Every structure is written in C-alpha cells, then in structure tokens.
Structure 1
Amino acid sequence: MTIFHVPGSKSVTARALFLAAAARGTTVLRRPLVSDDTEGFAEGLLALGYRVERGPEAWTIIGRPEGPAYGEAEVFCRDGATTARFLPALAAAGHGVFRFDASAQMRRRPLGPLTRALRDLGVDLTHEGEEGHHPVTVRANGIKGGRITLDAGLSSQFLTALLLVGPLTAEGLEITVTDLVSAPYVEITLAMMRSFGVEVRREGETFHVPPGGYRAADHTIEPDASTASYPLAAAALTGNTVTIPGLGSKALQGDVRFADVLARMGASVDMSPDSVTVTGTGRLHGLTVNMRDISDTVPTLSAIAPFADGPVRIEDVYNTRIKECDRLEACAGNLRRLGVPVAVGRDWIEITPAPPRAAEIACHGDHRIAMSFSIMELRTPGITLDDQGCVKKTFPGFHEALAGLRQAWGIARPEGAA
C-alpha cells in the first residue's frame, strides 16, 4: 500500500479565506493549499487592505466585518475563478471603489449571473468590456439585503459568493435558485459558514441567510478531493493500491465520490471516515455515469476510459465547457490524438476503449487536463504535455508526486523521459 499526501482543498481554502476576512477576530487556517489560485486569493485580500500572514503550515487572517480597509483598490485575480467571483461580492459589502481584473483565460469565463444578482441588491457595478465578464468595478456602499432570484446552472460559485456575503448585509438574504450545478460545493459552503458561526436555513430551492456576521475560527483545511482523483485513478489503472489520508466519508467535498465511480468500474474501494483506499483489480468496466455534481473529475475518468472493457459515457456535464477551457472538447481532442474513438455532445462525452498511442497532450493551460492525462502515461509510455507548468494552479508539486508513485509501484520510466 502506498500513502499519497494530497495538498489542501482549493475550494475549502478559498471559502476559508473569505470567511476569515469577513469574521470578527483572528482566524488561523491550518494546512491551506499553497498554489497559484490560493496565493492569488490571498494577494487579492492584501490588495483590499486585509491583514494576511502566510506561514509554512498555517495562514493567519485578521478579519474586518466592515469590509476592505482601503477605500480604493485594484485586484488582479489571475486565473482563479473563486478569487474573481468571491472577492467582488466581499468588496461590495464594504465602502469604496474596487476594480477587479483577471487573466485572459478568466476573462472568458462568465460572471453575469452573480453581477446581475448584486445589482438586484442595489450594488453599483459596471463591466468595462464585455457585459458579464471581467474587468468589473464595484462602487461599494454596503449591501442592504433582501430577496433575489439566481440562476446557478453555469457555476455553483455564483450561489456560494452570495451565501458568503449574506451575513455581511444589513438585513440578510433570501436567495431562490432556479438552476444549480455542482450542488455538493454549496454543501461545502454551508458547512463552513456553520463553522464560522452562521446557520443558513434552506427551504426547497430557497436559502435564508441571516445578518449578523461571522466569528473567527481555527480551521484545518482537508485534502483536495478533486486532486485526489488522480492517484486514485492511477491505482485503479495500474493494479496498485493507494491510500489518501485525511479524506474519507466525513469529507466536506463531494468529489470524494469519484471513488464510487472507480468502484463501479471494478476497483476495490475502502473508505473510512478519514481515509480512502483504492486497489486496482486488473480490470476496468465501462459504464454510463451522471457527473453533474462531480464534474471536476470528468477529465480524470476520460483519461482512464480507453483502458475499460466497454464504452464509458459521461453525462450532464455542460458546465465543464466553461471551466479553464472547454473540457469536453479538450478531452475529446486529446483522445482523438491518442487514437481513441470518442463522440461528444452538448453535455456528454462517450469514449470507446482502444489502446492509446504516444502523443503530445494539448493542455489548453488547464491544470486538470494536464494532471488527468499524465495518469494515462503510466500505461502508455511516450505521452507528453505541451504545458507541464499549468499544474501550479492547484498542485505545484504534481509531477514530482506522480514520479514518487511510479517509483513506489516499480513502473519504469520510458527511455528519454524527463
């Protein structure tokens, strides 16, 4: 059995940073993810005037329930969707003029449902370029609160941003959701709000968020369940065993359910409250699976699908088209490069098993494409990436960690490999 230590959750770290900044008192975040996305979020808080101290094992944040310390600021959100969507909502609850911009990749991703909701709440907000996209300027004067309707069918982050800012409003929020994707991420938000002293009441599709603010906390970040999908898939693919400590049935993150998908494919899965172990059995079965709620693991399943004994069809994942890249097309294009038959529709992909051939993977600057197809190389020597460095977004040490798995399992590196 091989122990694989997965870095902290990006989703949990981002929410914790927002909550810590909004809370009264000093919050300590233990074992946060240190990556380009989370460093970008922390830098955004610093640009707004929050006090953030980053140590090797813990980050300390002094909260400001009244909002940013500076009356004017510019924030560059890099590629981070949580940074680009959560921080404008946080700033809107304060007072001042705050401009947010992002990378070209992030500028292409939607912001409109969130900004429409904030405008419905009376926030003065303007898009400088294309409506519903960065850059955006918020002229903040606090948020009164009230009732709003939100379409979160493109990203659950729009709902999370509003839930997080709700306790900072004068009257609280009543949010009715007409559509919602990646619902488990909202459960993460609600659980973390609870740990910072706020209980959200849900009635059907309506969320009732009370005013009153947050209290500081000492919070330990659990490992990233989306990132855990790579070593788990690697074990299932190669017939080895891997254990992820700190991530099990008690995990906040819904992506831990990727282990259930591997079990359906024939892998042996043992999940305790605090760990998950996957053992490859030498065979992967084809299946049809709805991955709407765990869509960040779609590339992982796509990368091991060619080795199954029957077709693998992934359904109800339209939102993967508006991630760091169009992940459905990226997976389909790369599989075709590898000689694997694939069909793709608006919200589905179907992969027909075939022995992949060596080829260079087009990462499209997307960390999840890079990490997923790196797993395939354990069975198909000669697969390379056109952008190894994009993994820094969530797992800067990924390639070294994968090399450690290869060594532990006695899988030889192909000649000439870096």
Structure 2
Amino acid sequence: MTVIDIPGSKSVTARALFLAAAAEGTTTLVRPLASDDTEGFAEGLAALGYEVERAPGAWRVRGRPAGPAAASADVYCRDGATTARFLPVLAAAGHGDFRFDASAQMRRRPLAPLAEALRTLGVDLRHEGAEGHHPLRIAARGVKGGAVTLDAGQSSQYLTALLMLGPLTAEGLSVTVTDLVSEPYVGITLAMMRSFGARPTRAGDVFTVPPTGYRATTYAVEPDASTASYFFAAAALTGREATVPGLGTGALQGDLGFVDVLRRMGADVAVTPDGTTVRGTGRLHGLTVNMRDISDTMPTLAALAPYADGPVRIEDVANTRVKECDRLEVCAGNLRRLGITVTTGPDHIEIHPGTPRPAEIITHGDHRIVMSFAVTGLRTPGISFDDPGCVRKTFPGFHAHWENALRP
C-alpha cells in the first residue's frame, strides 16, 4: 500500500455547494465528492431552483444571492446531516415557502439549537412532528441579522450553518457560542467563507460576520481526511506504508490530526506540504486520548485498538452518540461481538487488548462503522457486515478501493 487516491472531502464539498449557491456568478468545484450525501445536497439545491451541473471531476453551480429561484419546494435531505442542516438556512435567506424532510435515521438526529437560533433571528420555522427534528417548514422572508447565542455542543454544524448565513443577511450576524464540539470544522468554514469573499472574524466565543455577500470562484476540494484515517490505520496495523497526496500541512480538515494519534501509538508519520505518509513499525501502544475535535475518527481508533499492547481509552466523545447512530455504543457492542473487553461511560470508551474473533458487524446503516471495522478485518479474517453498502453515503467505491490498496 503506497499512494492512496482518497475522494474529495464530504465536509468541504457540502460547504462549497452552499457557498457556490449563495455567490454572485458561477462557481466550479474541482474534484468534489460524489456520494449519496453530496448528491443529495446537489439535488436539494436543484429542488430549490438553483442550477447545478455535475460532470466527472467538476461541478458547476450558478449562484443566486437573492435566494432560491423556486417560490415553494419540498426538499428531501436523505441521510445527510449537512444537507438537512444547511439547506433550510440557505432557504431562509430567500423568499418562499419550503418544506424539508429526511430519512428516518436523519429524523432522529437533533436540530433544536439551530432551529431556535433561526427563530431568534425572526425566521418562521415550524416542525411538523417532534420539536427540534425534521420534517420542518420555513416561510422565508429573508433574514435581517443581529445577535444570537448558540449551543454547538452537539454539533459544530449548527454554528457553520449560521456563519454561512451571515453574509446573506441584511445587517450581518453576531454569534456567541456557549459550547462547541469538533472545533476544527468551524475553521474549515471560516477559511472557505473567506475564499468566497466573506470576512468573518472571531474574538473568543463571539463570531462576527458582516453582510458582504459571496463571490463565485473556482474551488478545489481536498481529499477527505476522515476517509484517509482508515488507510492510515491500516498502514499502522500491517507495518506497511500509506501516502495520501493533497492532504498535508496546509490541509483545512482537523481530522488529519488522527495521524498524531497513530504517531503516539508508535507509527512513523511524515506530514509535508504535498501530503501525509504513515508507516507501521510493528508496534502499537495503548494510550488515553481526547478526541473531541476529531470525533469522526473515533470509530477508526476503536476498531484498531484491540491490537495495541495496552488499553486504549478515548475521551470527550459524547457527541458521537448523536451521529448516524450511537457510535460509541455501537463500536463497543461490535467489539464485544469480536470477543474484546470494552467499557463505556457517557463520553468515553476504553478498549482492552485482545485477539478479535470472526463475527458479523452490526452497522446500523452507518458508513463509518463499516470502514472502521474493515481495518480490524485486516488481522481477523471472517469479519463481515450486515449492510456493507451503506458506505455509499460518503465513499461508494470503498470496498473495491480498499481491496486494491491492500494488494502487495
């Protein structure tokens, strides 16, 4: 395993689609991620009346700073959290009557802090079912702006959505954050907003966004750091080497910090301006690590952990309980199915060394569970999945790519 071609970042692609739709002019996205989540986002934009052209390797979006062209729309957000959280905010900045719904899995995921913040800003938002969850309706009449307080302790996406709204408001936006998880994702948002001509600033817990609007651009999407974590973990486990070009010292994504965890466990890691390389050394040490800022890679480490020479304790990951599934308990349950001793608490998981036995992994339809436990399967033949196809959410070609990358 040497050079690995990782698809574009889901997080970057979703933000780029929002920003392109809001910008003056036509934006070209280079190497965007083509997956169920991002295609669902693009189809949601089309339902709202935006023009989106998708060709292999390049998507073009004609922006509409005034908001959706459609006077009314019924948008289905599939399983996509970015779609389900970002598109209602984009629509709120325009004028029209819009309904948003999502899959049963996404309906279970929380939305209340974002919904309440929008209401504070004067948005007419109503939930049709359970309060704080999809489906919802928005009677959009533009957003004046102002000051709002937000709890982003469950998801940084709430803050990202509001920040991206700021330049589209009449008077700008000030957001005071009382709690924030996955903070590096907010760094992605701020950097990308600046690439599209906005001027957000931060002073401690207060984010200020003036009403600048956005300008179209050509934007290259970097490889997905969360997806790269599986291949980096594979190298650390097998004693081989994995290089991901385009994901180096200038990368936006905080999940590249996963390689620092692997370094602490004993792997050799080199991060250069051109890419990142991980090489296994034949040893994996146990450790205690706080993964609050890189919690999407928690399942990757959990699946690797049984092969360490001591316990692996992952802390401050309570927010993983409200992802596509309760990832903390699902990881624990699957590790126990493999015969591994695991304990959990409200915000942590501790995994003891052991020899995993073959078993079927219960995925709960979560793409990250499949891709993470594919790492375990490198040393434990016979591991299978009840829903291997759920990887289409972020990496439709994962299984073939994984097999090709691991060939001698």
Work out the CA distance in 2 between the residues paired with 1:92 and 1:194: 22
> 1:294-333 to 2 correspondence within 5 Å?
294-333=294-333
Work out the CA distance in 1 between the residues paired with 2:297 and 2:24: 36
1:190 aligns with 2:190: yes
Match of 1:405? 405
Work out the CA distance in 2 between the residues paired with 1:272 and 1:298: 24
Match of 2:38? 38
Match of 2:52? 52
Match of 1:356? 356
Work out the CA distance in 1 between the residues paired with 2:52 and 2:19: 13
1:45-77: per-residue Cα shift (whole Å, max 9, x none)?
000000000001100000000000000000000
Match of 2:122? 122
1:259 aligns with 2:289: no
1:250 aligns with 2:250: yes
Match of 2:106? 106
TM, length-normalised to structure 1: 0.97
Work out the CA distance in 2 between the residues paired with 1:397 and 1:202: 39
Verify the 8 A CA contact 1:198 1:213 in the aligned structure 2. yes
Deviation at 1:405, TM superposition (A): 2.2
Determine helix, strand or coil for the equivalent of 2:282. coil
Determine helix, strand or coil for the equivalent of 1:89. helix
Match of 2:24? 24
Match of 2:144? 144
Amino acid at match of 1:182: S
Determine helix, strand or coil for the equivalent of 2:139. strand
1:354-389: per-residue Cα shift (whole Å, max 9, x none)?
000000000110000000001111100000111110
Match of 1:291? 291
Stretches of structure 1 that go unaligned for 5 or more consecutive residues are 409-418
Verify the 8 A CA contact 1:84 1:100 in the aligned structure 2. yes
Match of 2:214? 214
Work out the CA distance in 2 between the residues paired with 1:212 and 1:235: 45
Determine helix, strand or coil for the equivalent of 2:336. helix
Determine helix, strand or coil for the equivalent of 2:407. helix
Query: Cα RMSD over matched residues?
Result: 0.5
> 1:66-105 to 2 correspondence within 5 Å?
66-105=66-105
Work out the CA distance in 2 between the residues paired with 1:90 and 1:241: 42
Work out the CA distance in 2 between the residues paired with 1:93 and 1:199: 18
Determine helix, strand or coil for the equivalent of 1:2. coil
1:27-52: per-residue Cα shift (whole Å, max 9, x none)?
00000000000000000000000000
1:156 aligns with 2:171: no
Match of 2:227? 227
Deviation at 1:10, TM superposition (A): 0.2
Work out the CA distance in 2 between the residues paired with 1:136 and 1:281: 51
Verify the 8 A CA contact 2:199 2:212 in the aligned structure 1. no
Match of 2:336? 336
Work out the CA distance in 2 between the residues paired with 1:304 and 1:147: 44
Work out the CA distance in 2 between the residues paired with 1:209 and 1:331: 39
Stretches of structure 2 that go unaligned for 5 or more consecutive residues are none
Determine helix, strand or coil for the equivalent of 1:125. strand
Work out the CA distance in 2 between the residues paired with 1:159 and 1:326: 22
Deviation at 1:166, TM superposition (A): 0.6
Deviation at 1:199, TM superposition (A): 1.4
Work out the CA distance in 1 between the residues paired with 2:212 and 2:284: 51
Work out the CA distance in 2 between the residues paired with 1:240 and 1:407: 11
Match of 1:204? 204
Match of 1:377? 377
Work out the CA distance in 2 between the residues paired with 1:212 and 1:191: 15
Work out the CA distance in 2 between the residues paired with 1:274 and 1:79: 33
Verify the 8 A CA contact 1:251 1:274 in the aligned structure 2. no
Work out the CA distance in 1 between the residues paired with 2:248 and 2:287: 24
Verify the 8 A CA contact 1:378 1:406 in the aligned structure 2. no
Match of 1:368? 368
Amino acid at match of 1:25: G
Deviation at 1:407, TM superposition (A): 1.4
Work out the CA distance in 2 between the residues paired with 1:116 and 1:240: 49
Deviation at 1:201, TM superposition (A): 1.2
Deviation at 1:274, TM superposition (A): 2.2
Match of 1:411? none
Work out the CA distance in 2 between the residues paired with 1:203 and 1:262: 33
Deviation at 1:257, TM superposition (A): 0.5
Determine helix, strand or coil for the equivalent of 1:160. helix
Deviation at 1:249, TM superposition (A): 1.4
Runs of 4+ in 1 over 4 A off after TM superposition: none
Deviation at 1:212, TM superposition (A): 2.2
Match of 1:61? 61
Work out the CA distance in 2 between the residues paired with 1:405 and 1:59: 27
Deviation at 1:406, TM superposition (A): 2.4
Work out the CA distance in 1 between the residues paired with 2:405 and 2:200: 42
Match of 1:413? none
Amino acid at match of 1:254: G
Amino acid at match of 2:48: L
Verify the 8 A CA contact 2:63 2:216 in the aligned structure 1. yes
Verify the 8 A CA contact 2:176 2:207 in the aligned structure 1. yes
1:171 aligns with 2:171: yes
Work out the CA distance in 1 between the residues paired with 2:398 and 2:73: 34
Work out the CA distance in 1 between the residues paired with 2:94 and 2:406: 50
Determine helix, strand or coil for the equivalent of 2:223. coil
